[in-house]
């Protein structure tokens, strides 16, 4: 009978080095806690919609970049107006700054199904 040793480290998540997750937001990102098992291995690009002076809470443990309207103005200069801040269209800036092959996007009001996460 052969004995198979368990690996001492977890396998690298699919697309770990090829995927960014873009999240447009106007609120604290507490919803990320329920997505943690899925999103924690990946890089997040968070684009804050609305008032840039309002700070938003991002749970610890995530690898992320946070951009707001001031950052977009600084980076794009006179072309910043091409990034709309209506109906979460600011996510387009996240697409622009991503350097990855694939981009996944999710709104800040999307939740994991209770069938997966457990009924609350």
Q: Tell me if 9 is assigned to some domain.
A: no
Domain range for 43 is: 19-108
pLDDT at 6 over 90: no
Question: Would you state the pLDDT for residue 21?
Answer: 98
User: Are residues 29 and 86 in contact, defined by beta-carbon separation less than 8 angstroms?
Assistant: no
> What confidence tier does 112 reach under pLDDT thresholds 50, 70, 90?
confident
Give pLDDT tens digits for 25-67: 999 999 999 999 999 999 999 999 989 999 999 999 999 999 9
Give pLDDT tens digits for 8-20: 566 778 898 999 9
Could you tell me the CA-to-CA distances from 96 to 72, 90, 92, 109 in Å, in that order?
A: 11, 10, 6, 22
Residue written as token pair 């709104």: 107
Q: Tell me if 120 is assigned to some domain.
A: no
Question: Would you state the pLDDT for residue 119?
Answer: 53
User: Are residues 108 and 26 in contact, defined by beta-carbon separation less than 8 angstroms?
Assistant: yes
Q: Tell me if 1 is assigned to some domain.
A: no
Q: Tell me if 44 is assigned to some domain.
A: yes
Q: Tell me if 35 is assigned to some domain.
A: yes
Question: Would you state the pLDDT for residue 90?
Answer: 92
Question: Would you state the pLDDT for residue 113?
Answer: 81
Give me the number of domains the chain comprises. 1
- E strands in 9-84: 19-25, 43-48, 63-67
Average pLDDT over residues 67-86: 92
């Amino acid at each position: 009978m052969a004995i198979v040793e368990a690996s001492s480290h977890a396998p690298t998540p699919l697309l770990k080095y090829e995927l960014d997750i873009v999240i447009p937001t106007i609120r604290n990102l507490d919803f990320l806690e329920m997505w943690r098992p899925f999103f924690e291995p990946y890089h997040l690009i968070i684009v804050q919609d609305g008032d840039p002076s309002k700070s938003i809470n991002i749970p610890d443990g995530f690898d992320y970049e946070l951009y707001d309207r001031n950052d977009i103005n600084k980076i794009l200069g006179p072309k910043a107006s091409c990034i709309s801040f209506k109906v979460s269209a600011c996510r387009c800036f996240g697409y622009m700054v991503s350097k990855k092959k694939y981009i996944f996007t999710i709104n800040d009001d999307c939740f994991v199904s209770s069938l997966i996460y457990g009924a609350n």
